[in-house]
Chains A and B, each alone.
Chain A
Amino acid sequence: MTHAVILGATASLGKALCQELAKQNINLILFGRDQEALALLASDLTIRFGIATDTHLLDVTELEQVTTWETTILTLPPFDLVFSLVGVMPKNHSSQSIVDTINTNFTGPAVLLSLFVQKLQKQQNGKLVVVTSVAGDRGRQSNYLYGSAKAGLSIFAAGLRHVFWKHGIHVLIVKPGYIDTPMTYGMKSPFIASREYVARKIIRAVQKNQYEVYIPFFWKFILFAIKLIPETLFKRLSL
């Protein structure tokens, strides 16, 4: 019985994804940085869906812990599916916030995923699902810190795919638009998708072995158009 690993399980989207996986009777290994939230998520999944859950406290910004992370990964039960849902919006304009945003959205997950893929390489089998964002498709004034970190992670994931497909490892990059989480709460946009919808679409994309998916699909066309705009015009827009 193999497990699925969820990095950032206590994130808003993380919970919805865990529920979708639990409905399919997949046992879960949950990573998060909030002890109480992890415990609640684990008990909830077990009681509602009857699956087994392991929890591990891990803060992706604590990069000095990288050797501990390596050892932890070696002790995990067999797994062949790894989801990275780690992500955070900048809290304010402080320098600490800049460091946290870049480390949480790029550096931390990139380091962790490198460690996880080493384990998957040994078993010559596995799938990696990296949730980035449409915000990473172009450097824009309204969200460039978060967006650029996510962009870095997207390219990193594509690189992993190129190296490790020969070892039986498949990588899916998920680019959601707005999802109904604290990140978008209060935004007046008609395009906010429910967590459950996004989670279901991610599972579908995994099952279909897709490489990259925009959720909902229409963001693909929106970003295609945005990427086409020449820079002399784009820099004058308020996007």
Chain B
Amino acid sequence: MFIKDVSLSGWGNFPTITTRLARPEHVNIISQFLNDNHTSFIPRGAGKSYGDAALNQNIVLTTERLNHFIAFDKNTGIIKCQAGVTLHDILEVVTPYGWFLPVLPGTQWATVGGSFACNVHGKNHRLQGDFAEHIRSILLLLPHGERLFCTPTLHSEIFYATAGGMGMTGLILELELQLVHRAPWLKVKRIPINSMTDLASTLSKNTAEHWVAWIDHFGTGNQLGRGIVESANHCSIESEKKFITPQLQMSIPKFWPKGLLNPWSMRFYNYFRLHDAARKTEEIVPWPSFFNPLDHLQHWNRLYGKPGFLQYQCIIPESSHMFDHLAELLTLAQKKDIFSYLVVVKTHRDSKELMSFPKKGISVAMDFPYHTRLFDLLDASDTRVIKWGGRVYLAKDARLSARAFESMYAHALPAWRAILKKIDPDFRLKSLMSHRLGFKT
């Protein structure tokens, strides 16, 4: 049998539940399995979402072993694969031929299916948009067993309800993507910044494809916003460097003492990161070093110990007060003596998919070690984000309230819910997140 009892959580290790994990190796047994086990279930890719998006108390169906490549056209850069293929697998196959993923999120270990279901974005959202914009077609297994082939124009309402749909439309079996011609090496520029004004000005002056800012949350007062901005462009495709040098990989062991990560060790670490003179201001790096620096530290979520951590990622829509709003969010936490150990800012354009997170503006992602005081802070942050017309990113969420969710996604919910009702009238597809936020009410 391919099902077992497990203790399961998202990347943040909060919440953790016991459930049954099904790991099918072939697609044709899944329909029969779902007929025999008539409970609710949720699909799961690599489990890299942070909260409870891929958790269900009855059955979690992982696509881990549904990870075959189906077709790859080296001339057109169109690749088709099963949903369990990871972004890393794709890059390993396509980079020798000069192809690259147009959108790459913070981890290369996410699956293609999961990336579509969360509609991930990278550090180049202003140019390349969402992951879903580059998907040409999907093959979806609907809850009652029918397989549906969808594209942006065929069954388009189901295609767009699945993009960022958090698994609510069915199990994605296959996807077809359009790749881009890019070298796997990037020229990175690092600019230290000392204030929010610096941050705003580096963004306005930016012309590079990729842009990301790391902020030291321990910078307060007029040091608020101190950090490092990294901007990057891919090297030219003809550059000599074709092969990726093996990356240094470390792994955090299972029983890492939680206390090692605390405000003082983080102040220390941040100080060194800010003042690391050895870090070059301009460098050519292999793609994992720029896109997925955290992937070099395998199981880095274990640094937070058993209680885990939460990430708050939200969009602050573009306006003349955009950076003031960012400052307000950062100081709100500081005033409550809560410090984020990782603050990352990215820029975005408007998104066209139904349940999309990005809007024209900036996003900020903040990692906080788990603490009961956190929930009030994040609720207060929600109030402000809603006031500014922003949203919270569901792929990272573990605690948003249903009320806040209704406000943030009001533009999409009526249409999305109508489609979900048609596809899944019996509510077979459920997750802890769908229950918490009331996806299918």
Contacts and interface: CB of A to CB of B under 8 A. Distances in A.
Nearest to A89: B1
Contacts of A43: 68-71
A34 B28 contact: yes
Interface in B1-37: 1-5, 23, 25-28
A154 B358 CA distance: 60
B418 interface: no
B82 interface: yes
B70 A185 contact: no
B3 A185 contact: yes
A44 B1 contact: no
A10 B28 CA distance: 13
Contacts of B28: 34, 36-37
B71 A186 contact: no
A47 B80 CA distance: 10
Given A10-B26, A34-B28, A36-B26, A186 B1 contact: yes
Contacts of A48: 69, 89, 92-93
A28 to B, nearest CB: 15
B137 to A, nearest CB: 16
Contacts of A41: 68
Nearest to B74: A47
Nearest to B65: A12
A34 B70 CA distance: 16
B71 A47 contact: yes
A44 B25 contact: no
A143 B59 CA distance: 28
A47 B4 contact: no
B3 A47 contact: no
A186 B69 contact: no
B426 to A, nearest CB: 27
Contacts of B71: 43, 47
Q: How large is the interface on B (under 10, 10 to 19, 20 to 34, 35 or more residues)?
A: 20 to 34
Contacts of B70: 40, 43-44, 47
B72 interface: yes
Interface secondary structure of A, over-half rule: helix
Given A40-B82, A186-B4, A47 B69 contact: yes
Contacts of A10: 26
Nearest to B174: A40
A182 interface: yes
A34 B26 contact: yes
A47 B93 contact: yes
B350 to A, nearest CB: 35
A22 B26 CA distance: 21
Interface in B65-107: 65, 68-72, 82, 89, 92-93
A182 B72 contact: no
Interface string A174-195: 0000000110011000000000
A48 B2 CA distance: 26
Nearest to B92: A48
Nearest to A12: B25
B4 A185 contact: yes
Contacts of B89: 48
Contacts of A47: 69-72, 93
A48 B28 CA distance: 23
A76 to B, nearest CB: 24
Contacts of B65: 12
A82 B413 CA distance: 57
Given A41-B68, A47-B69, A186 B26 contact: no
Nearest to A44: B68
A182 B68 contact: no
Given A10-B26, A12-B25, A44 B3 contact: no
B85 to A, nearest CB: 9
Count chain A CB atoms within 10 A of each CB in B2, B68, B72 and give the residue with the most. B68
B93 A37 contact: no
B93 A186 contact: no
A53 B69 CA distance: 14
A37 B173 CA distance: 13
Contacts of A36: 26-28
Nearest to B89: A48
Nearest to A43: B70
A40 B5 contact: no
Contacts of B1: 182, 185-186
Contacts of B2: 182, 185
A40 B4 CA distance: 25
Contacts of A181: 25
Nearest to B5: A186
Given A47-B93, A48-B93, A185 B68 contact: no
Nearest to B26: A37
Contacts of B23: 182, 185
Interface string B418-432: 000000000000000
Contacts of B27: 36-37
Nearest to B85: A44
B3 A186 contact: yes
A181 B25 CA distance: 9
Interface string A23-54: 00000000000101100110110011000000
Given A12-B65, A34-B26, A47-B93, 7 more contacts: A36-B27, A36-B28, A47-B70, A48-B92, A182-B23, A185-B3, A185-B23
Top 6 closest pairs, chain A to chain B, by CB: A186-B4, A44-B68, A47-B69, A40-B68, A182-B2, A44-B69
Interface of A: 10, 12, 34, 36-37, 40-41, 43-44, 47-48, 181-182, 185-186
20 contacts: A12-B25, A12-B65, A34-B26, A36-B26, A37-B26, A40-B70, A40-B82, A41-B68, A43-B69, A44-B69, A47-B69, A48-B69, A181-B25, A182-B1, A182-B2, A182-B23, A185-B2, A185-B3, A185-B23, A186-B4
